Structure 1
Amino acid sequence: MSLTRGGPFFDNEEAFSPIVDSLLNELPENAVFFLSQKGNWQKNPRTWEERINHELLYRLKKEAPLIRKNFIQITYRCLNNPDFSSLAQKINSFWPEPSFPLEHWLTRAAALPEELRPSVLSSVWSQQKFREDARIFISFIRLIANIILSRCFELNSTLPGPDWDVQARQVRSYFGQRKQAWEEERVTRFSLEEKELFYKLRQTIEGPLEGLIAPIAQLVAEEQRISLVVENLFRKLKTSADKEEIYQTIIEKWQPPMGIVANLSPSLFFLSLYLLILPEVELSSGLQHAAAVSLSLFRDQRSADYLLYALEKLPIINTKIRENVIYTLGCLKEARAVPLLTLILDQPDFWPESDLKEARICPLQEQKEEAIWALGKIGLAAVKAIPLLSRYAEHPSAKLKTYLAWSLGEIGRAQKENTGGISADLLIALLKLLKEKNKEVFEEATSALKKIQMPEFIHTLYLYHVGAVNLLSLKPAATGLNELSATLNHFLSQKKRTVVAVTGDSGTGKTYFCQVLAKGLAGVKPAEILYLMRDSKNGRKIFNRLLGLSWLKKYIDPAYYQSELADETASDSEAFWPTFLETHKDKKFILLDGCRDRHYFQRVVDLFYERGELDVVVNLRANFSTRRLNLEEREVALESVRLHLSFLEEPALEDTYFYQEGKTILYDLDNSLNARLSQEEIAELFAPRVIPRWEEFIQLGSFKYEHNIPLTPEEKIDFQQASFRAEISTWPESQRSSLQPEEQILKIQLNEALAAEPNLLYILPLTNLKPERLQFYAQEQVGGAAEDGTIFVLTLLDHRLFRVASPEKPVAFAILNQTFYLADKLGGLISVSLEKEEKINYHHAGSAISGLAAIPPNCLLAVEKNGLIRLWNFEEKKLESLNLEVGPINSLASAPGRRAYLSAGTEIIGLDWEKGVIIRMCLVDEMPQSIYTVSKDRIIIVVSKNNNTEWGLIFINFNRGLRTTLWLPGAKRIKTLVPLLDGRVVIIFEPISRSFDEGPALFVLNPEGNYFSLARVNRRPVEVNDLLILGPRIITCGRESDGPASFRLWGSEFFVQAERSKLKIKPF
């Protein structure tokens, strides 16, 4: 650029502005640089004036264009003032050197090794043609820096504080002297006229630039105060016998107020740079670690050189400091770190600390994990590390391989975007990782292949094993939330109150999603919404009252509830429930938000579920990388990120009662970064809308009810209640063995005869398998047992069947935590896991087991032939026994809240294992055949009378102490049934005599006040062994009229027609 000099400075502001822009744009950002008196960029300030020089120019570079424009206007006006030209000469003459050195511990940067000695870079102002202009401009920058320095001394010399605060008095005195020294050094040498001009220029500058000057003065003033205190503490170190205490006092200066990282003072950034690399400080002091953590919170690009120096010089055994340094370099995407990171990966996992007196081993795995993660963030520059990274695909650590899969995906994406292809080593490594059965490794490897645009390649691979089905069948949040929106619109338009629980591991985006819903949805206003978040004060207060003091005392740290609950009377959970509902009766939508833990938020969700108040559960999942990236943004500090990564929901969703019972509407969604919506998109999605007959797609739809069956009038029941105490038995020994499930894909036969069988969607014919029992296994998966003892899992996602043969038919069968539990004829207990591909034989010493019932999340109730009840707690490895002193037990059912119901002869027994309470009642005229639970206090008993020629259902509500009975017309035996939460019952009738009735066997009973209406589901005769309800579908197993065994899928006529149209265009 050619500029013509006119007068003291450039011709016009338009000519001056590009030069200032060029200067600011070339200011290096990888370290702390200031503009020297020679017009060069010089590294590492040694005086407070140079420190302010840097801060001023750096802020001008980063601040809004309007601030820079204002600065340029003021600067141009001053520099073209002839008075300033003469004053500038005096400044350069009277102020030959930047003044007021940093405290001694900071100025040691000048003595550091070559890598960090003040280095010089040329600037646009160092060019020969701008030499005179540069001198004047630099004088102006020095003038502003000194004005700010004066302001800093003024702030610190008038620091508020009581007289008894010795440290505050010392600070005021010290900086009062520095203020006076500044006046003497910078102003007194001016003539009276020059002083007047100086103060006039100061007023001209300070007023318009106050928005720039004041924040810098506040920042640097605080840096000065902290550095002075630290300087004094370092002096004490030389003579103190208790160095640990002094180090701890210094570290406390680096702690964010209240432990909230967002509150960390920006004044610690500059000080942390030098503290990190201070050569004579012992590494064991913790000071460098505090500095490294602080720099990770700031994530400022200016720290790059200092971090690289620290990573190169710090001994590899100082893992915690190095991990924070590596983490920050990754966040900065510092390409120059790649060689240093690959050096870490070249080391063994364990490093012998030979320089220590005692031989110890230093684990490097976490350093390697951070190095791998950082390489993924760096991206393209890390391509050279691919051969080394690929070697880690066979590392034994699943956690490290999870990091690796994500990192390879990020590097591969960058490589493909920039070169059009990917490294063969990278692809081979990902394929190796894809074979892992570890959930997180599998997820990240799958995601990585999608990142490098190979989704079609994924679908050509054989990836199916039982454990992978859940992951592959998860709906993306973008899809699932659309369906959830329709469901909530339906409920909110139909129900007085809708309750939704949003759960998920820490970092999955729960609160991000809930905050949108709390602002209103589906026409419901914010005032009509009660948002209860686990981590909010109001949420905890209500949750604590719902749980009650007895529960909290038993399981929860007092710090979480003492302030809310004063005494037992004020915290009776049973008494609080009606109060809670009455207090919030105006709320149409109650939203529960939290990460489930067994004894707190999971218990809260269970309480709503057990009382029939829970309508929908939304479980947000995310792959490991999404959770980590979310937590890096939210928690910032590496230690906090790692801590929250360990906050996994417990028990796992699949192990909860509401999941395993399969009755609650559950949206289990993948909310990973590539599947999630923005808050604006979520708000738009949950706007009011109506989808006709949406309820037919989320729950069992409507049927044509043709007959009415009267109910007997309600009558009081007589039952006795007492307490019990179970005895603890020795946990049995066990023996493990491996197994290999067989697998096949079933071919569906779409129902082409809708007129004859309007409720049938399709049939899945079977060969070599005759299913007899069905149970809920997982979302979109059905577990069961066959006539010959074979156990199986049917996936409705793609009609894939996994099975394991058994040498004999089990006496009893239950599914808990996606594990089959079988009682053999000899009385032993066997567990079979198709996911883990293992079988465990428990050497049970009691009498033969005759019945099993799962009590999620971790207990199994076993009934023995001698009437003994045993509770197997697989988590605590505890076996509890209870002798009821009754005859053989002929039926058994579990209920929410660790409850169970059973029958022995005509006696009905209820067990509350949590409270140690037993209830007993006897039937007089009826013989119990089987028991089914509706909720924790409501059961249905299948009964018969008159030598089993009449069959019926007794509905018992223990909470109200009432019963009513439904006697079925005709000679029909009740084979099995499934009660629904809305009061309906899906039931299988079986003719008592084949010659008497060959008619339909599958019915739906619908409550209508004092009677039930009856609807036929199947119109043609078919043998049905068992049934299961999954949302709007009824799944049955049995035998076709022409002989072969099969699964059948049924639904309402509307649902069948809608789904049939989808299947017509879907290949199967």
Structure 2
Amino acid sequence: MNRLNFGDLLENATGFLEDFDPSGLVYLSPQGTWAGNPRTLRDRISNELWFRIWKAKQYKEDAELLRSATYPFIRDGSSWEVTNKVFGRILGEKTAKNDGLLIVFEVLYRLIEYDADKRNAEAYVADWDSVRKAWRSRCQDKAEEFLRDVKRTLRSNSQMKVFLHTIHLLKKDKESVFDQVSSHIAEEEKVRSQIDDLLTKLKGAREKSLISDVIHEQISSVMKRLTAVPAALTRPCLELLTNPDIDISSGLQYEASSILGELKDIRSTKTLLSYLETCDPGYTNIRCNLIYALGNLRQKGASRHLVDVLEGPDSIHVQLGEGSCGYDQPMLSEKQEAIWALGKLGPDAIEVIPALVRFSQNLDREMKISLAWAMGAIGHGQKKRYKGIDAGIITTLMQLLTAEDSEIFEEAAVALRKLDLPNFLHNLYLHNFTTAALLSLKPSRTGLYELSETLLHLVSIKKPVVMAVTGDSGTGKTYFCESIAHGFGDLQETEIVYLQRDHPAHMGILNRILGLTWLKRHVDQIYYQDYPLDEKGDNPDEFFDDFMQDHAHARLIILDGWRDEPYFHQIVGTFYDKGYLDILVKFRTTFSTRRSNLEEREGALESVKIRLSLVEQPVIEETKFYREGAVLIYNLDNSISSRLSREEIREVFQRRKVDTWGDQIRIGRFERDTRPLRIYAQTLSARWQEISVDSRTISRAEVSHFSPHETTFSRILNEDLDEQPNLLQVIKLADLEVNRIAFYTQGQIACCGYDGGVGILTGFNDRLYYYRAHERPAEHLVVMGGDICSVDSEGELRITTFQKNTVTKLGRHDSPVCSVSSYRDGQILTGHRDGTIRLWNVLGQQMRVLRGQKSPVCAMAVDRHGRVFWGSDDGELRVWDPKDRKVKVLLGLEAPMSKVGLFPDGRVVLGTGIVDELERKRNSSSAEISIVDFQSGACETFRLSDIGAVNAMSVYFDGRIILGLKSCASFGSQGNLVVIDLQSSFPQYKILGGHRLETRDCLTMGPRILTCGSESESQHSLRIWGTELYVKREHDKLALMPESMEKPPYYRALF
């Protein structure tokens, strides 16, 4: 036969490929026709080789691939002659002699088999594994027999040299298709050998589990990172899935379907669809794996089968056996997976939109989350392909926006963003503001820019900087950490210590920080079984100090993990308690982003679902890191539409861009018009007082439902910076006379009013949601998670929950409440007019009552150790440790105490003065601040005004104290908002301004101070303050922004 021309070979191969079906396991028979379900090794090699040629053709790379695989056989007359001789020996007359392409490919198949045998003959096998050693020996014998056969066929040394040179040319390039296929086949044959051996011994549970172990070993995450070999499991898994001789109770069909979902091999499409049609509906887990795998393949032909799942029954009756009652098996999980799978089809699922729309009425929350994401994905693809969006998509998303569940709302809102409808979203009238939290977060695209400036600023002034990066599993925290862990800016990799929660080597360090005693009490033993010490020899504090000393060279320490209460939350807490934690980054995403990230990382559906359950506790807003203000918090939206790529992260962190960044992340220094402060020192005497602590059951709470009122508020930009250089904005509310404020969550402030109203201000669309929970003025306020605890002028305590639209009255009190504070674990602490203190565990319906004094408890504070500090109108400061049955009483302060706070070093800050108007008529009192060391009794006091009271007090993390006053007599008309700085060389204070009549409350938010107060008896407002530099810069930004709804939601957030 004349030597085959490569051009003719390429033309013939292209003709064959026109009929190639990539959705099934097809191979080219010796007669040159396509056949299915390869059973022999030759047929499997054919399937693998032609599938790779087909994939190369999709990228117009098939000619190059074919040349590398076939040209060595036809490079000259000698090589073509040898190829024909070897072919004749292999197949004889089974193939037409005149079909040169089939001749080349049959020889190529046989050489791939030979090379695969050689690889397996040279593979490592443990000395003790006699079974594998025997199999390796058989591979060696098979390869040697093939060479002997070829020698007998060729008969001359010269032709044998040509044959061996052909093999050399095929293997010359390690990335060649020959090398890839032979490697793939070698691994597949190894797996097949092990599975076949075990299947023959499948007699008991032990052998069944061994088969599963073989499969799991091959698909392990380690192997996926090192090689492409796991793809060699496609054909074995499809065979296991459809093998009728394997009992389904073995679990092998489940394992096979799980792995196929991970492999995403398009060749499994037809088998998966066929098995889905015949699989017993009672095998829900297998069916979910099949649907998940089909979704990952993104084949349009699967849409009809997925719709059949959606339109099937919501449950089926499963009969356990003859005579049993059986049970109803829900089909919700299958339908959820079907919706996710259809969303992955994008515009190829347009025709099934009517079937999806019906699920907007479904009561299952996860179904609605899936639907919102799927509609966004399909609509995005439709708009991109056809320049329009189906009306059913918009109406479905609009309906989902009305859901009271935050995750459903977030998915629907993000889907509308994906459809390029953000302005439309901003103008919506949203009844349920509590669902809008994610929309108020800064996207990580913006937040990471700010974080980079903060990190580069901090590492320039201190060493080390400690940053904890947290978030639910799948939010992208490790992706971010790995992007900067190798160095950025002027930081070298050797100057960064990176501790990842799930890294085996890092867990040893983290375990030592917690200590064996803690681990034994709270953590499963499997996570610390290699702990190097016993409890007697273990010293976590000493280890922590040694760790910090050993890493004294480090400029940055990164802690990476999801915060769970028993483990990583304690790790972060340890760094915080010891004064090292500087920054906490909390990544949040939509549910769909978490799932997409986890699908990419974990692969198998079971692993994805397990990881989705790993959510942080406690929520960040309830942690001391968040409440105490000493740590910079970056609460960022890291959803797919908001995040940066690895390269973009590295670029953002490359260098500092703002030299004055330090003034933009914290309240800067007030250096103009400061005044010296005189401090009077004394030592307070102390005595111990016996107390009684009783426990009782909380009487039945009265819970009522309400519909919140909704209105907008207006912002007025300060246009007279010369007169009030520290004032940025005035916020006016027409429907609520604000009396007190407290931080609620990102972009939201809780408040209560003189009219008895309790509400939440949200920067998203500048709205106020409120309800009149009291019949009398509400005078005290504290936030516990999503609950707002308020006390009215008659001392009645109520809990308002906007997430559920309920108000809870905690029964009748023996004495009115005078003060309220948050305590640990969601408990409420109240101080009463009769001198008692009560600790409410509302969920547990238990209350502890502390009795030991008769004067009213005017103000309280709780430190991080759980100690309670309170002051009374008799001027006595009391300290109670819940472990004790006695109280320490500090004497010597004569003025009634209106506020109690905690200084950063653990001392107690007291604000004094008379608040009650009746008392004011009978007494004269000065507004004073005292700082008391409750251990030694050392006290420093300074006076602010001759007549008045401290209405509000906020102790900043650096020791500055921000005060709101009732009277400003000694300051004249200059104001009643004061910042006291005791840390400077000379103690001083600065008057910022305030409200015309009084400043009622204040809190700090980043570089801002937020106050509420009164301009007159009937006019009340909120105001935002800062340093002159900060106010000037933000004023210029706001002045440039239009008053439209087009402002980004993260910037439009109030605070």
Report TM bin, short chain. 0.7 to 0.9
Instruction: Map Cα deviations across residues 852-899 of structure 1 (whole Å, 9 max, x no partner).
Output: 211355222233455444333456555445555675433211233544
Instruction: Map Cα deviations across residues 627-666 of structure 1 (whole Å, 9 max, x no partner).
Output: 1110000011100001111111112223323334556432
Residue 45 of structure 1: aligned partner: 38
Q: 2:379 aligns with which of 401, 412, 428?
A: 412
Distance 1:387 1:820, change over 3 A: same
* Higher mean C-alpha deviation, range 261-270 or range 315-324: 261-270
**Unmatched 5+ stretches in structure 1:** 1-6, 98-130
* Higher mean C-alpha deviation, range 27-36 or range 499-508: 27-36
Q: Secondary structure at the match of 1:386?
A: helix
Deviation at 1:513, TM superposition (A): 1.0
Residue 295 of structure 1: aligned partner: 260
Contact 1:473 1:797 in 2 (8 A): yes
* Higher mean C-alpha deviation, range 563-572 or range 853-862: 563-572
Q: 2:1014 aligns with which of 1033, 1039, 1062?
A: 1039
Q: Secondary structure at the match of 2:640?
A: coil
Residue 211 of structure 2: aligned partner: 250
Distance 1:1060 1:84, change over 3 A: same
Partner amino acid, structure 1, of 2:212: I
Contact 1:991 1:997 in 2 (8 A): no
Distance 1:353 1:673, change over 3 A: same
Instruction: Map Cα deviations across residues 308-331 of structure 1 (whole Å, 9 max, x no partner).
Output: 111121122211111111111111
Partner amino acid, structure 1, of 2:105: I
Residue 270 of structure 1: aligned partner: 235
Query: What is the rounded CA distance, in whole Å, between the counterparts of 1:856 and 1:26 in structure 2?
Result: 69
Query: What is the rounded CA distance, in whole Å, between the counterparts of 2:508 and 2:684 in structure 1?
Result: 38
Residue 842 of structure 1: aligned partner: 810
* Residues 728-807 of structure 1: pairs in structure 2 closer than 5 A: 729-767=696-734, 769-805=736-772, 806-807=774-775
Q: 1:70 aligns with which of 46, 65, 68?
A: 68
Residue 1005 (structure 1) aligned with residue 972 (structure 2): no
Contact 1:932 1:978 in 2 (8 A): yes
Q: Secondary structure at the match of 1:256?
A: helix
Residue 982 (structure 1) aligned with residue 946 (structure 2): no
Deviation at 1:157, TM superposition (A): 6.6
Residue 1066 of structure 1: aligned partner: 1041
Residue 473 (structure 1) aligned with residue 440 (structure 2): yes
* Higher mean C-alpha deviation, range 562-571 or range 806-815: 562-571
Q: Secondary structure at the match of 2:756?
A: coil
Query: What is the rounded CA distance, in whole Å, between the counterparts of 1:33 and 1:565 in structure 2?
Result: 56
Distance 1:195 1:648, change over 3 A: farther
Q: Secondary structure at the match of 2:987?
A: strand
Residue 917 of structure 2: aligned partner: none
**Number of residue pairs matched?**
1017
Deviation at 1:521, TM superposition (A): 3.2
Residue 83 of structure 1: aligned partner: 81
Query: What is the rounded CA distance, in whole Å, between the counterparts of 2:654 and 2:717 in structure 1?
Result: 36
Residue 371 (structure 1) aligned with residue 362 (structure 2): no
Residue 485 (structure 1) aligned with residue 452 (structure 2): yes
Query: What is the rounded CA distance, in whole Å, between the counterparts of 1:599 and 1:718 in structure 2?
Result: 41
Query: What is the rounded CA distance, in whole Å, between the counterparts of 2:525 and 2:493 in structure 1?
Result: 33
Deviation at 1:956, TM superposition (A): 3.8
Contact 1:24 1:61 in 2 (8 A): yes
Deviation at 1:208, TM superposition (A): 2.0
Q: Secondary structure at the match of 2:491?
A: coil
Distance 1:280 1:79, change over 3 A: farther
Residue 347 of structure 2: aligned partner: 380
- Percent identity for Structure 1 against Structure 2: 31
Partner amino acid, structure 2, of 1:253: V
Query: What is the rounded CA distance, in whole Å, between the counterparts of 1:750 and 1:1021 in structure 2?
Result: 17
* Higher mean C-alpha deviation, range 367-376 or range 438-447: 438-447
Q: Secondary structure at the match of 2:603?
A: coil
Residue 931 (structure 1) aligned with residue 900 (structure 2): yes
Partner amino acid, structure 1, of 2:959: G
Distance 1:378 1:268, change over 3 A: same
Query: What is the rounded CA distance, in whole Å, between the counterparts of 1:441 and 1:622 in structure 2?
Result: 12
Query: What is the rounded CA distance, in whole Å, between the counterparts of 2:525 and 2:353 in structure 1?
Result: 51
Partner amino acid, structure 2, of 1:558: Q
Residue 616 of structure 1: aligned partner: 583
Query: What is the rounded CA distance, in whole Å, between the counterparts of 1:597 and 1:629 in structure 2?
Result: 22
Contact 1:1037 1:1048 in 2 (8 A): yes
Residue 110 of structure 2: aligned partner: 146
Deviation at 1:990, TM superposition (A): 3.8
Q: Secondary structure at the match of 2:868?
A: strand
Contact 1:300 1:332 in 2 (8 A): yes
Residue 819 of structure 1: aligned partner: 787
Deviation at 1:334, TM superposition (A): 1.6
Query: What is the rounded CA distance, in whole Å, between the counterparts of 2:955 and 2:716 in structure 1?
Result: 28
* Residues 413-492 of structure 1: pairs in structure 2 closer than 5 A: 413-492=380-459
Residue 132 of structure 2: aligned partner: 168
Residue 1023 of structure 1: aligned partner: 998
Q: 2:1026 aligns with which of 1047, 1051, 1056?
A: 1051
Query: What is the rounded CA distance, in whole Å, between the counterparts of 1:478 and 1:1013 in structure 2?
Result: 40
Partner amino acid, structure 2, of 1:694: W
Residue 953 of structure 1: aligned partner: 929
Distance 1:763 1:456, change over 3 A: closer
Query: What is the rounded CA distance, in whole Å, between the counterparts of 1:802 and 1:260 in structure 2?
Result: 49
Instruction: Map Cα deviations across residues 320-349 of structure 1 (whole Å, 9 max, x no partner).
Output: 111111111111102111111111111122
* Residues 690-729 of structure 1: pairs in structure 2 closer than 5 A: 690-703=657-670, 704-712=672-680, 729=696
Distance 1:257 1:719, change over 3 A: farther
Contact 2:925 2:946 in 1 (8 A): no
Contact 1:153 1:221 in 2 (8 A): yes
Query: What is the rounded CA distance, in whole Å, between the counterparts of 1:15 and 1:158 in structure 2?
Result: 38
Query: What is the rounded CA distance, in whole Å, between the counterparts of 1:1000 and 1:236 in structure 2?
Result: 88
Distance 1:196 1:736, change over 3 A: farther
Instruction: Map Cα deviations across residues 67-91 of structure 1 (whole Å, 9 max, x no partner).
Output: 6543233122267645326515633
Contact 1:724 1:916 in 2 (8 A): no
Deviation at 1:580, TM superposition (A): 4.1
Partner amino acid, structure 2, of 1:940: V
* Higher mean C-alpha deviation, range 349-358 or range 302-311: 349-358
Residue 336 of structure 1: aligned partner: 301
Instruction: Map Cα deviations across residues 586-634 of structure 1 (whole Å, 9 max, x no partner).
Output: 3222222211112322233333334443332221111111111100000
Residue 110 of structure 1: aligned partner: none
Residue 594 of structure 1: aligned partner: 561
Contact 1:657 1:855 in 2 (8 A): no
Contact 2:360 2:400 in 1 (8 A): yes
Deviation at 1:780, TM superposition (A): 2.8
Contact 2:78 2:162 in 1 (8 A): no
Contact 1:1035 1:1047 in 2 (8 A): yes
Residue 942 of structure 1: aligned partner: 911
State the Cα RMSD in Å.
3.6
Contact 1:79 1:85 in 2 (8 A): no
Distance 1:386 1:469, change over 3 A: closer
Residue 122 of structure 1: aligned partner: none
Contact 2:913 2:950 in 1 (8 A): no
Residue 891 (structure 1) aligned with residue 859 (structure 2): yes
Query: What is the rounded CA distance, in whole Å, between the counterparts of 1:720 and 1:506 in structure 2?
Result: 51
Residue 286 of structure 1: aligned partner: 251
* Residues 10-29 of structure 1: pairs in structure 2 closer than 5 A: 10-11=4-5, 13=6, 16-17=9-10, 19-20=12-13, 27-29=20-22
Query: What is the rounded CA distance, in whole Å, between the counterparts of 2:308 and 2:494 in structure 1?
Result: 58
Deviation at 1:225, TM superposition (A): 4.5
Deviation at 1:680, TM superposition (A): 1.2
Partner amino acid, structure 1, of 2:286: I
Contact 2:946 2:970 in 1 (8 A): no
Contact 2:967 2:998 in 1 (8 A): no
* Higher mean C-alpha deviation, range 1037-1046 or range 824-833: 824-833
**Unmatched 5+ stretches in structure 2:** 915-921, 1044-1055
Distance 1:60 1:606, change over 3 A: same
Contact 1:616 1:664 in 2 (8 A): yes
Query: What is the rounded CA distance, in whole Å, between the counterparts of 1:768 and 1:449 in structure 2?
Result: 31
Query: What is the rounded CA distance, in whole Å, between the counterparts of 1:605 and 1:363 in structure 2?
Result: 41
Query: What is the rounded CA distance, in whole Å, between the counterparts of 1:30 and 1:996 in structure 2?
Result: 83
